[in-house]
Amino acid sequence: MRGRRAGAVIAGCMSAVAAAQSTASPELLDIYRGMVETRTVHPDGDNTAIARSVARRLLDAGFDPKDVEVLEPRPLKGNLLARLRGTGESKPLLLLAHIDVVEAHKEDWSEGLDPFRLTERDGYYYGRGSVDDKSMAAIFTETMLRLKREGFAPKRDIVLALTADEETGGSNGVEYLLRNRRTDIDAAYALNEGGGGTYRDGHPFLHSVQVSEKMYLSFDLETTSAGGHSSIPSRDNAIYDLAAGLERLARHDFPVRSSVVTRAYFAELARVEKGEVAQAAAAVGAGDASDAQVARLSRGPRYNAQLRTTCVPTRLEGGQADNALPQRAHATVNCRLMPGEDPQFVASEIQRVAGERVSVKARGKVRVSEPSDPAAPIMATIRRVSESMWPGVPVVPTMGTGATDGSRLRNAGIPVYGVSGLFVEYGESRAHGRDERLGVRALAQGNEFLYRLVRALASE
Ligand SMILES: [Zn+2]
């Protein structure tokens, strides 16, 4: 999702593949449409409807009823758990996708689009969840059906888990499975969201595999003052104090933290970036970047977020009346911590920078997440399959700047690789936002990629 186009050579190689897989199969499209058009927002969306519909499809395709379950810890919070049995030579492969989505309102979307109707327009499918994460949920479902029909005999069981409560809500999805069905989802590794490909000017440029995640932590920043009549203002003002603290925070950079994952990421990036940025990326990858090189990379928000912990104000409120001096002002500062970063250190940095007039309190605790091994054998298989579809496009291990259920599985001892083969244009970020969309060609190619990858992994 980052970087620059590798060149015309790749574009040339692509055309054959693009021609072969430019539209999704009618079956995939039907599954995808059914999922997008089932509203699964918290708290009243119906996840169970999707779980049941997928269960029905699997049973119709000949899956053994004892290998297909709909688990509903609470009404509407259904999960689908299914298993394609292998010979048992190797440990299972887990395919994880969440079926819940973030709320969306028709009036916030462009004319003619309804977030809960799948609309094809100008080469894209529009709809809430069209990217996050119903594309993968539909593709994994279609892959299970296809492998079953082909009579494929995998060396390892392939377990499909379509889950609730990833976006909001809490503990009825992956957390429920880990607590109650740990052995049924046990796996050598899991494939999940969090990775994907980047187009630059419509051409595949970079294919990322998420092996690590930043940690999410919000802080409450608060100031207070005596208040009084606004016709006789004093310098003691909670809003000025908070604004001054936030202004200092805006100019503050947290220290650079490199990890095995981010070094591998920047080393790969150096191969496809150009000029100063390529040199800086190579230096960060090698662990010997100068301050100027770090500063050069930090200019781009995406690269900056790979280099360090970030904290940014996301909400602000203060004062109690138009004609009164404020007695209180409050800001939410949302931080994304580098894995291994000490939350205490982050809190003390915010306090130091914001100043003593600002009270700083962490809201809750971070969910620690250790990276999966970016050099594990599965990466070689991912590279091989990616190369078969997008020759010359680097496969790059990345640290996700957002949070997914991957960290829960990693913490439970199941390595997770966020890989999808779904490409979006560089800089496009509509998941959770308005007019969420996925390219028609991208869906078809992602489907083919994940099918090939699951087949390859299950044959090892
Ligand atoms: Zn998601």
Between the CA of 140 and the centroid of ligand 1 the distance, in Å, is 15
Q: How far is CA 155 from CA 58, 91, 413, in A?
A: 20, 8, 21
Task: Tell me what pLDDT residue 429 has.
Answer: 80
169 has pLDDT over 90: no
Whether the predicted pLDDT of 73 surpasses 60: yes
Q: Residues of 333-364 as b/e, b for ≥16 C-beta within 10 angstroms?
A: bebbbbbebebeebbebbbebbeeebebebee
- Ligand 1 centroid–CA 150 distance in Å is 30
Residues with CB under 5 A from ligand 1 (ion): 132-133, 193
Query: Do residues 386 and 395 lie in contact, with contact meaning Cβ atoms separated by under 8 Å?
Result: yes
**Given pLDDT bands bounded at 50, 70 and 90, which one contains residue 20?**
low
How many angstroms does the Cα of residue 450 sit away from the middle of ligand 1? 17
CA of 417 to the centre of ligand 1 (A): 14
In which band, very low, low, confident or very high, does the pLDDT at 14 lie, cut at 50, 70 and 90? very low
Q: What are phi and psi of 162, to 5 degrees?
A: -105, 120
Task: Give percent above pLDDT 90 in the chain.
Answer: 86
| C-alpha 17 to ligand 1 mean position (Å) | 27
The percent of residues above 70 in pLDDT, for the chain, comes to 95
CA of 133 to the centre of ligand 1 (A): 5
What does the mean pLDDT of the chain come to? 93
Between the CA of 166 and the centroid of ligand 1 the distance, in Å, is 7
Residues in the chain: 460
Longest dimension (CA), the chain: 82
Burial of 400 (0-12, 13-18, 19+ CB in 10 A): buried
Chain segment 197-211, per-residue pLDDT in tens: 999 888 998 999 999
pLDDT (0 to 100) of residue 433:
87
CA of 399 to the centre of ligand 1 (A): 15
Tell how far the Cα of 128 is from the centroid of ligand 1, in angstroms. 11
**Which 3 state secondary structure label does DSSP give 269?**
helix
Question: Helix, strand, or coil here: 143?
Answer: helix
The string of pLDDT tens digits covering residues 101-141 is 999 999 999 999 999 999 999 999 999 999 999 999 999 99
From the number of C-beta atoms within 10 Å of its C-beta (0-12, 13-18, 19+), residue 9 rates as exposed
pLDDT in tens, 288-327: 999 999 999 999 898 999 999 999 999 999 999 999 999 9
Cβ distance 422 to 192 under 8 Å? no
Q: What is the pTM of this model?
A: 0.87
At residue 375, φ and ψ (nearest 5 deg) are -110, 10
Label the pairing between strands 196-200 and 423-425: parallel
How close is the Cα of 132 to the center of ligand 1, in Å? Answer: 5
